[in-house]
A and B are shown apart, each in its own frame.
Chain A
Amino acid sequence: MQNTKIIVGLGSCGIAAGAGKTYQKIETLIAEGNLDVKLGKTSCVGMCYREPLVEIHDASGVYLYGDIDESRVPEIIEKHILEQKPVKEYLVKTDLFPTPDDSFLKDQVKITLRNCGMIDPEQIEEYEAHGGYQAVKKIAAEKLTSADIIKTVLESGIRGRGGGGFPTGLKWKFAAGYSSPEKYIICNADEGDPGAFMDRSVLEGDPHTVLEGMIIGGYAIGASDGVIYCRAEYPLAIKRLNIALNQAREKGYLGTDACGIKDFNFDIHIKEGAGAFVCGEETALIASVEGRRGMPRKRPPFPAQSGLWNKPTNINNVETFAGIPWIILNGAEAFANFGTEKSKGTKVFALAGKVKRSGLVEVPMGMTIRDVIFNLGGGIKDDKKFKAVQMGGPSGGCIPEYLADTVVDYDSVTATGAIMGSGGMVVMDETTCMVDVAKFFLDFTCKESCGKCTFCRIGTKRMLEILERITNGEGKPSDLDELIDLAQQIKDNTLCGLGQTAPNPVLTTLRYFRDEYEAHINQHKCPAKVCKNLLTYTVNESKCTGCTVCARNCPVNAIDGERKKAHTIRQDACIKCGLCFTKCKFDAIEMS
C-alpha cells in the first residue's frame, strides 16, 4: 500500500457528477481504515462522460477509474487498495492493458491541456514540477527580448483561439509598436458560446499556464498590467485563478521585477463579467472593464492603439495564452509541426450534444470532423443517425453529415459557412430539428444584441419572428427568401461580429437543410418531431392496456378512458407536452 496515491478529478463537471462526495467518502474510508494512502486532487482530464473520475497510482502502475460515485468508493477501496486487485469493470485507462476508452485519448495531442487532469491546480509547486514557469525562466536566463519572443510566436503560426483566428504574433507586434507607460494585456475568459467549455476547463485545470502565457505576452508587448475578464458563471475558475495569482505573486513571478527580469513590473487582476455575450467582443469587453454598458464601438482605432483607458491594449483568448509557454519552451517549429499549412498546432474542442463521449479533446489541426466525432467521441448516442455538427456557436453554423470529412482548420471550416469559433462542437442527430436550432440561436442573439445597431437589434427580432412562425406551422413560402434578404442586410449593416455573424446559423441550415424548412412550411410537418405545435399525440388502441398512467399524468386532463380499456386523447385540449409519450410503458402513445 505504501506510496499509493488516490487522485480525484474535481473540475466543475466532476463536482456536478458527484466527485465532491466521492472525495469525502475516500477521505473518510482512509481515515477509518487508517490506510497509508495519499489523497490528492486534480481537475478535468476531458473525459467528462465518465465523471466522477478517480485515479490510483500504486507500485504496479496507474489506474484511472470512471463513474465512481460515492456508492462505488467502498468497493474500489476494498478491492484495489486492500486486496490489490484492480476492478476492471470501472477501469477507463491503464498502461497495463488496453481498454475501450483508449481511443478517446490515443489520437489526441495535448499542448494546451498538457497539465489538465495531471496536476493539482491549486498547488503552484505541481505546475513547476511539470515544466511550469520554465518558459519565463528561460526568457530571464537567456535575456530574450520582446522582439525575440514575438518572432517565435509569429513563426509558430499560432492563430487566436477565441474565434477570429488572427495571428497572435502579428497582434503582439502591433501592440508592441505603440509606446506608452501604461499598456494592458487582457485575457478574454468570457466564453460566451453556449455549449462550449474549453476555457473553463483550462482555467480550472491549469490556471498557472494561462498566467505564464499572459506574463510572456505582457513582457513581449511591454504591458504594465494584465486583466483577466472572466464570466461570473465560472465561480470555480475564478477561485482557482485567485489562488494561482497569490501564489505567483509570492514566488515573484508577478510584481516588481517580475520573474527576475529587471524593470519588468507586471501584475494581473481579475474582472468578473456580469452576464452579457457581447462582452466577448474586444471593444465591448473594454467598455465593460471600464464599468460601462458593454457596447462595441467602431474600429479603428484598434485596441492595440487605443484600448483600455485609451491605452494600447492587447486581448487574447484563454487557450491562446495557455499554448504560449509551451511554444517558448519547445520552439516555434515544434508547434508548427502540427497542423495544416495555414492553421498550425492543436485545437481544443468541447464535444457535447448527442455524442457518446462528450468531453474535452485536443487534436492537431487537420483532423477530420468525422474522426473527432466518431473515433474520439465514440459516435452518436444510442447509435442514432448523425445529422450535423454545430461549430462556432451563435456566430457559426451547422455542418451536415455529408461534409463531415472536412478537416478542422480555420479556412476549411469557414468554407462550409460555419466558423471554427472557440471550439464548441455540438453534435446533432436525426431527432434534432434544424429549424428549431436556427430559431434557438436567433433567440439567443436577439436577446444578447446590445441594441446599438438597428439591423442587429430589429433585424434579428424579425428573423426570429419568421422562424417562430415557421415552427408553429404558420410559415409562408415567401418566408425563406425574406430570411435570406434580412440575413444579408444584417450582415452588411452592423458594427461588430455579433451582428455580422448572427444570421449564420439560419443561412447554414437553409443551405444544407432547406427540405426541413419546406416540410414545416408546406406540409406543416416537423420531420424530427421536435416542433410541438406541429405534433399530434394519439393512442394506439392495439397497444394500450388501459393502465391509466397517461391519464393520471396529463397536466390538462386531456386523456379519457376507463381502466383496462383503450384511452383517447382529446386533441382540442392537448397542450403537446409529451408527458404521456414519456410515461407510457407500452409504447402506445404515438407522435406524428
Chain B
Amino acid sequence: MRINRINKKTPPTDPTVSNFSEIDKLLAEYKGRKGTVIPILQGVQEILGYLPPRVFQKIADNTGIPVSDLYGVATFYAQFRLHPVGKLMIKVCHGTACHVQNASAVSSAIEEALGVKDGETTSDGLFTLESVACLGCCSLAPVMMIGNDTYGKLTGAEAVKIIKEIRQKEMSTTSDPVNNK
C-alpha cells in the first residue's frame, strides 16, 4: 500500500475562488449519474492541478457522497495528488524494462541536478519529480516523460540536459522576474 502517498508536510493552500466556477460546471455535468467519483476527481485535478481539502467538501455537498469515501478513493489511486505540484511533471519510468536498463541512474542524476527527491517540487515551482511504473515505451528504455513529451534511450546526463533546456525555454518565455534572474 502506498502509505507514503499521504504526505503530512506542508498544509496545502486552497485555490482562489475563481477556479470554483469551473468545478461547478464539472459537477453539473456529472449530476445524477452513477459511478462518477473518479471522473469528477480527475476533472478537478485537471483544473486545479491537485485536490485541495475544500474541494472534497464541495463535491460531497453536491453529490451526497461522504467526504470519507471521496478521500478513500483519492488516496487509493496513484494519479490523485493532495498537494500542489510544479508546472511540469517529470515522470521517470521505473518499470521492468527501464529498471534493468539503469533507470535509477537517470533518477539520481535528475535528483542531483534539481536538488529534489522523488515526489518533490523544485523551489522555482517548475518541476515535480515522480517515479512511475511503465509509460508503455519499454522499447526505448530508460524513458521519462516531461509534460506530454516522452524521451527515450536516456542516460543520466542526457536527462539532465533535456531538463536544463526546458528550464531555459520556460525562463525565457515567462515574464516573472523571480524566474528570470
Interface pair A272/B136, CB less than 8 Å apart: no
Given A232-B79, A276-B78, are A12 and B99 neighbors across the interface (CB < 8 Å)?
A: no
Chain B interface bracket (under 10, 10 to 19, 20 to 34, 35 or more): 35 or more
- Measured between alpha carbons, how far is A451 from B137 in the docked complex, in Å? 29
Given A291-B38, A447-B1, are A12 and B136 neighbors across the interface (CB < 8 Å)?
A: yes
Q: Which residues of B contact A (CB under 8 A)?
A: 1-2, 34-39, 41-42, 69, 72-73, 76-80, 94-97, 99-101, 105, 108, 112, 132-141, 143, 148-152, 155
Q: With contacts A233-B135, A451-B1 known, what are 16 further pairs, Cβ within 8 A?
A: A13-B140, A15-B150, A194-B96, A195-B95, A195-B97, A196-B134, A197-B139, A232-B42, A274-B41, A274-B77, A276-B76, A276-B77, A291-B34, A291-B35, A352-B97, A428-B100
Interface pair A444/B133, CB less than 8 Å apart: yes
- Measured between alpha carbons, how far is A291 from B38 in the docked complex, in Å? 5
Given A288-B38, A290-B35, are A195 and B150 neighbors across the interface (CB < 8 Å)?
A: no
Q: Is A395 an interface residue (CB 8 A)?
A: no
Given A291-B35, A293-B76, A424-B96, are A191 and B1 neighbors across the interface (CB < 8 Å)?
A: no
- Measured between alpha carbons, how far is A292 from B36 in the docked complex, in Å? 9
Interface pair B96/A16, CB less than 8 Å apart: no
- Measured between alpha carbons, how far is A49 from B37 in the docked complex, in Å? 40
Q: Is A252 an interface residue (CB 8 A)?
A: no
Interface pair B97/A292, CB less than 8 Å apart: no
- Measured between alpha carbons, how far is A457 from B141 in the docked complex, in Å? 30
Interface pair A16/B150, CB less than 8 Å apart: yes
Choose, from A88-96, A353-361, A405-413, A563-571, the stretch at the interface.
A353-361
Interface pair B137/A274, CB less than 8 Å apart: no
Please, which residues of chain A bring their CB within 8 A of the CB of B135?
Answer: 233
Q: Is A504 an interface residue (CB 8 A)?
A: no
Most chain B CB inside 10 Å of its own CB: which residue of A193, A233, A235, A444: A233
Interface pair B136/A353, CB less than 8 Å apart: no
Q: Which of A189-237 contact B (CB under 8 A)?
A: 191, 193-197, 200, 232-235
Nearest chain-B residue to A194 (Cβ)? B95
Nearest chain A CB to B56's CB is how many angstroms away? 15
Please, which residues of chain B bring their CB within 8 A of the CB of A232?
Answer: 42, 79
Interface pair B79/A274, CB less than 8 Å apart: yes
Interface pair B96/A426, CB less than 8 Å apart: yes
Interface pair B1/A359, CB less than 8 Å apart: no
Nearest chain A CB to B48's CB is how many angstroms away? 16
Task: For the complex of A and B, list the 3 residue pairs with the smallest distance between their C-beta atoms, beginning with the closest.
Answer: A195-B96, A194-B95, A48-B139
Show 14 residue pairs from A and B whose CB-CB distance is below 8 angstroms, ordered by the A residue.
A13-B139, A13-B152, A16-B140, A16-B149, A194-B96, A197-B134, A272-B38, A275-B77, A288-B38, A353-B100, A358-B141, A424-B138, A428-B100, A577-B108
Interface pair A353/B97, CB less than 8 Å apart: yes
Interface pair B136/A275, CB less than 8 Å apart: no
Interface pair A274/B80, CB less than 8 Å apart: yes
Please, which residues of chain B bring their CB within 8 A of the CB of A457?
Answer: 1
Interface pair B137/A12, CB less than 8 Å apart: yes
Please, which residues of chain A bring their CB within 8 A of the CB of B39?
Answer: 271-272
- 1/0 contact trace for A436-453 toward B, CB 8 Å? 010011001001011100
Interface pair B136/A426, CB less than 8 Å apart: no
- Measured between alpha carbons, how far is A352 from B112 in the docked complex, in Å? 28
Interface pair A197/B137, CB less than 8 Å apart: yes
Interface pair A294/B150, CB less than 8 Å apart: no
Interface pair A440/B35, CB less than 8 Å apart: no
- Measured between alpha carbons, how far is A444 from B134 in the docked complex, in Å? 11
Q: Is A136 an interface residue (CB 8 A)?
A: no
Q: Which residues of A contact B (CB under 8 A)?
A: 12-13, 15-17, 48-49, 51, 191, 193-197, 200, 232-235, 271-277, 288-294, 309, 350-354, 358-359, 390, 393, 424, 426, 428, 432, 437, 440-441, 444, 447, 449-451, 457, 555, 577-578, 582
Given A197-B136, A292-B73, A352-B138, are A390 and B96 neighbors across the interface (CB < 8 Å)?
A: yes
Please, which residues of chain B bring their CB within 8 A of the CB of A582?
Answer: 155
Nearest chain-A residue to B65 (Cβ)? A291
Given A233-B132, A451-B1, are A352 and B139 neighbors across the interface (CB < 8 Å)?
A: yes
Interface pair B73/A234, CB less than 8 Å apart: no
Please, which residues of chain B bring their CB within 8 A of the CB of A49?
Answer: 139
Interface pair A352/B141, CB less than 8 Å apart: yes
Please, which residues of chain A bring their CB within 8 A of the CB of B94?
Answer: 194
User: B97: which of A233, A426, A449 is its contact (CB, 8 Å)?
Assistant: A426
- Measured between alpha carbons, how far is A564 from B152 in the docked complex, in Å? 37
Please, which residues of chain B bring their CB within 8 A of the CB of A291?
Answer: 34-38, 73
Please, which residues of chain A bring their CB within 8 A of the CB of B2?
Answer: 447
Interface pair B42/A191, CB less than 8 Å apart: no
Please, which residues of chain B bring their CB within 8 A of the CB of A273?
Answer: 77
Please, which residues of chain B bring their CB within 8 A of the CB of A354?
Answer: 100-101
User: B96: which of A293, A351, A353, A450 is its contact (CB, 8 Å)?
Assistant: A353
- Measured between alpha carbons, how far is A362 from B124 in the docked complex, in Å? 47
Most chain A CB inside 10 Å of its own CB: which residue of B39, B96, B105: B96
User: A13: which of B37, B78, B137 is its contact (CB, 8 Å)?
Assistant: B137
- Measured between alpha carbons, how far is A235 from B91 in the docked complex, in Å? 14
Please, which residues of chain B bring their CB within 8 A of the CB of A428?
Answer: 100
Please, which residues of chain A bring their CB within 8 A of the CB of B73?
Answer: 291-293
Interface pair A432/B100, CB less than 8 Å apart: yes
- Measured between alpha carbons, how far is A143 from B94 in the docked complex, in Å? 50
Please, which residues of chain B bring their CB within 8 A of the CB of A272?
Answer: 38-39, 42
Interface pair B152/A294, CB less than 8 Å apart: no
Please, which residues of chain B bring their CB within 8 A of the CB of A555?
Answer: 112
- Measured between alpha carbons, how far is A232 from B89 in the docked complex, in Å? 15
Nearest chain B CB to A332's CB is how many angstroms away? 32
User: A359: which of B35, B41, B112, B139 is its contact (CB, 8 Å)?
Assistant: B139
Most chain B CB inside 10 Å of its own CB: which residue of A13, A271, A555, A577: A13
